[in-house]
Chain A
Amino acid sequence: MHEYSIIQSLVDAVEKSVWGTGYRLPVTGDRLSTGNRQPATGNLSRVHRIDVCIGELSGVDTGLLATAYEVFRAGTCCESATMKIDRVPAHWQCPKCSSDIARGAVLRCPTCKEPARLMSGDEIILQRIELEVP
């Protein structure tokens, strides 16, 4: 059950992303802070929503990830943010003729005999955040 540690990394990534925008997060009694915070001055924002992208072959279970998020977001910059999970199916393709290789099939192109290439489905990505600003 590594989804809890993925959430810790996710919260870190959200904090860093907010830092990069020039907006600042309010200081709260968080337990996951990476230090990307400063006392309330101007440009104070709140994270309203985060969008993540999880591939079918990433090794991350989206149900467990959602549960872990509900447990761990309290006291972090994501406390009031909803999380939308975009689940990406595994997509294998022949690198030579670009034919799709069906899920569950032998991962070799039946025509070219080339080993299949994973085109998508291993993502563990923070896509975007939505900030609530005054």
Chain B
Amino acid sequence: MCQDCGCGDTNLVPVEVQTRILARNDSVAAHNRAHFSERSIFSVNLMGSPGSGKTAVLEATARALGGKTLAAVAGDLATDNDARRLEKAGIHSKSITTGEACHLDAEMVHRALHDFDLTGVEYFFIENVGNLVCPAVYDLGQAVNVVALSVTEGEDKPVKYPTMFAKADLVLLTKVDLMIHLPNVRMSAIEDAVARVMPRPRIISISAQDRFGVSSWIEWLSDRRERMNALMLAAEHA
């Protein structure tokens, strides 16, 4: 032992760790998830490129779910514009201004949930920062991941950003009312690209403008919420 002989040399000691680097984020996400599920709140992490129509989809959702209590947090780098739009549409909302951060993490959502009145809320939307890369890395405590993909973004967008689509439970193909102006965009090519990155491909075409597809989206949300509640009930009685 070098500490005995005094030569000053050091020993190298390998230590096996095998831990997730984002373990801290995951534990806060689990806390958020418990916070939502204890209150039977169905939480949706809505991701997508800037301008893919995330806020417009939520506005259309609020119009369609008039009688339900909705809440949201909207992540944005510099403004609270999206949260203000959602509030105006009838969704109790808070803005998370991320500054330079290109994504939301579980801690940001957790902080936003403090002092957030969730009484009677059935659906909680987390409108992530517009970005198809970084948000996919962070679990926020959501029940489902939904990716908004607009028809103008290119048929091959999903295969260019496989991580986000691999983690998605649903792709909302937005702005489909524009398809009549896009003769070179083929729906079949978008579906094929999604099937190459998403093992259980599920696409709902939607137009917030003319409300096409909004009822299918609401049906999907309601079905997934019922499934979550049934699973929780079964777990309570187990």
Which A residues fall within an 8 A CB radius of B?
1-2, 5-6, 9-10, 12-13, 17-18, 21, 23, 45-46, 48, 52, 57-60, 90, 92, 104-108, 115-118, 122, 124-134
Give the residue of A57, A59, A124, A130 whose beta carbon is less than 8 angstroms from that of B12.
A130
**CB <8 Å contact, A125 and B198:** no
Q: Report the separation of the CA atoms of residues A49 and B141 in the bound assembly, to the nearest whole angstrom.
A: 33
- Which one of B12, B16, B17, B18 has the highest number of Cβ atoms from chain A below 10 Å of its Cβ? B17
Interface of chain B, main secondary structure: mixed
A128 near B16 (CB under 8 angstroms)?
A: yes
Q: Are B159 and A125 in contact (CB under 8 A)?
A: no
Minimum CB distance partner of B201 in chain A: A107
Supplied contacts A9-B22, A9-B23, 10 more A-B pairs, CB within 8 Å: A45-B13, A59-B137, A92-B199, A116-B199, A127-B17, A128-B18, A130-B14, A131-B14, A131-B15, A132-B13
Q: Decide yes or no whether B134 CB sits under 8 A from chain A.
A: yes
Q: Which residues of A contact B12 (CB under 8 A)?
A: 48, 130-133
Per DSSP, are chain A's interface residues mostly helix, strand or loop, or mixed?
mixed
B184 close to chain A: CB less than 8 A: no
Partner of B166, one of A2, A60, A118: A118
Contact A13 to B23, CB < 8 A, known contacts A130-B12, A131-B15: yes
CB-defined interface of B159-191 with A at 8 Å, one 1/0 digit per residue?
100111010000000000000000000000000
B78, CB-defined interface residue at 8 Å: no
| Max chain B C-beta neighbours (<10 A), residue from A48, A105, A106, A127 | A106
Which of B21, B138, B200 meets A126, CB within 8 Å?
A: B21
Contact call A6/B22, Cβ cutoff below 8 A: yes
Which residues of B are found within 8 Å of A106, using beta-carbon distances? 192, 195-196
Docked Cα-Cα span, A106 to B188, in Å, equals: 13
A49 to chain B, nearest CB (A): 8
Within 8 Å CB of B221, what residues of A? none
Q: Are B19 and A17 in contact (CB under 8 A)?
A: yes
B228: CB under 8 A from chain A?
no
Closest B residue, CB atoms, query A17: B17
Give chain A nearest CB distance to B111 CB in angstroms. 15
Provide 8 A-B residue pairs closer than 8 Å at the C-beta atoms, listed in order of the A residue: A1-B102, A1-B134, A6-B22, A46-B10, A92-B199, A105-B196, A118-B199, A126-B20
Q: In chain A, what residue has the closest Cβ to B162?
A: A57
